[in-house]
Chains A and B, each alone.
Chain A
């Protein structure tokens, strides 16, 4: 299988104080499809994900060396405008954090800060992306009510719509279903599968079955090191590394 590269990581090291969270990671992440990062908790999955849109910048005492190239541009270059990098990526966190405003304003927030002022156009964007995340039918009659009144599952889909509304190329999802009930989790997974032709979706998960359901490409991290990566069938059916095999069997976690 041939992959085109979208994000390239070159010798990425991340330290929190004295602790090294990522050790010399080098990997080319393919374009489009769902890329799943698996590994036991505390292995650096989230750190890797957050380096892609430089959200680790705001963490205390963090130090980064190496490069992350998005479309050939090193995003850790001090000259890079970080808001432009982040606009390329939508983020779904473990717990949904709707902004303190209405459902409509949550989705319109991104387009507005990036200069969209036309009311009609905003209305179109809001509807389009709420449909895309499968929430439209449930909220179309109460777009002006506070986003905080939605259920957690609905909030997570709202966050997806909000992220998509800035027209990213990449969706970053950090254990996006861990706070959700099974039905809401399925909604999110279905959205990812529906969107994977158009977006590069990177999902962090520790649920192996979820990884198997979603992944086109798998990255396995262990204690900050990249152990193995490759197309999903290869990793799941026939892992090269002993450690990957053990993780799949549930021996290490």
Chain B
């Protein structure tokens, strides 16, 4: 065989190997969570809050953490959309192309993306101390919102950048303002990508433990106010895994399974909900 054929073979082998690594990682994680978690699952897990001694293996569930996580990640996602959508539309529709502010903003998002989530937690905690606030759902939402913001913005930016300039020109040439062009044309055209960005952000937010540990705290009851501390699934998993009791550790896997299902349900539901808005996209 000549050299070029061997090159081709080696590279093809490498690609197949990498693909398999990714797929098996996913399968193994899901399998672990299901195999270890399912036997420990019961209705009480998702319908009850922890009773006394839950972490010692007694009665109860993690409804507090499920609700807390959904509230927290939901709030953080909404907060993050409210900031990132205007920023991204500014970068792509309003700002002069190639201006320094634009590239600096993109660079800042990249840096912020790389900041570890514990730093967001610590940063949030410092601010809270300054204002004399205690750990609460609201503080958690803000900290996670900050964590999610660069991820969501950058992901939205990537899709909106792909929109051809001529599409914007078509709207301008009809006498549309930039605002009308941004919301009636750009957002519609980029909707599936924007949704993906939102879901990536949501997934990241609901799965993060380090940013909420100081800011949202933990509580065995369902938060009924923004100013109450809130439990979250990642922390619930952490606490359960940290106990010396095997049955409680298995509940941690069950909790991880619940977390996975929550993310899955929300992803699928939002795809279905937005499907009817995305059929007009110009490909």
Contact = CB atoms under 8 A, between A and B. Distances in A.
Nearest to B174: A110
B168 A100 contact: no
Contact of A114 (B97, B175, B188, B282): B175
B176 interface: yes
The interface centre, meaning the residue of B169, B174, B188 with most chain A CB atoms within 10 A of its CB, is B174
B173 A84 contact: no
Contacts of B165: 58
Interface stretch (B35-43, B108-116, B177-185, B242-250): B177-185
A99 B172 contact: no
A99 B173 contact: no
Interface of A: prevailing SS: mixed
A162 to B, nearest CB: 7
Interface in A70-101: 83-84, 86-87, 89-91, 93, 95, 97-101
B277 to A, nearest CB: 10
A162 B174 contact: yes
B56 interface: no
Contacts of A147: 280, 282
A146 B174 CA distance: 19
Given A58-B165, A97-B164, A86 B189 contact: no
A160 to B, nearest CB: 12
A40 to B, nearest CB: 22
A99 B173 CA distance: 12
The interface centre, meaning the residue of B165, B167, B168, B282 with most chain A CB atoms within 10 A of its CB, is B282
Contacts of A55: 169, 172-173
B171 interface: yes
B170 A100 contact: no
Contact of A146 (B175, B177, B279): B279
Interface in B174-226: 174-177, 180, 184-185, 188-189
B7 interface: no
A159 to B, nearest CB: 7
Contact of A90 (B166, B172, B173, B188): B173
A117 B154 CA distance: 37
Contacts of B189: 100
B281 A100 contact: yes
A58 B167 contact: no
Contact of A113 (B96, B175, B283): B175
Given A97-B164, A102-B280, A147-B280, A163 B174 contact: yes
A53 interface: yes
B98 A91 contact: no
The interface centre, meaning the residue of B172, B173, B175, B177 with most chain A CB atoms within 10 A of its CB, is B173
A18 interface: no
Nearest to A53: B173
A83 B167 contact: no
B174 A113 contact: yes
Contact of B184 (A90, A102, A109, A148): A109
A91 B169 contact: yes
B188 A101 contact: yes
B170 to A, nearest CB: 4
Given A83-B175, A83-B177, A100-B281, A60 B98 contact: yes
Contacts of A86: 172-175
A132 to B, nearest CB: 16
Interface string B12-33: 0000000000000000000000
Nearest to B278: A100
30 contacts: A55-B173, A58-B169, A60-B96, A60-B97, A83-B175, A83-B177, A84-B175, A86-B175, A87-B174, A90-B173, A93-B169, A93-B170, A97-B169, A100-B167, A100-B185, A100-B189, A100-B282, A101-B188, A101-B280, A102-B280, A110-B175, A113-B175, A113-B176, A113-B177, A146-B279, A147-B280, A147-B282, A148-B281, A166-B174, A166-B175
Given A84-B175, A93-B170, A159-B170, 9 more contacts: A55-B172, A87-B174, A93-B169, A97-B166, A99-B167, A99-B170, A101-B188, A109-B184, A146-B281
Interface of A: 53, 55, 58, 60-61, 83-84, 86-87, 89-91, 93, 95, 97-102, 105, 109-110, 113-114, 146-148, 159, 162-163, 166, 172
Which A-B residue pairs are the 3 nearest by beta carbons?
A87-B175, A91-B173, A110-B174
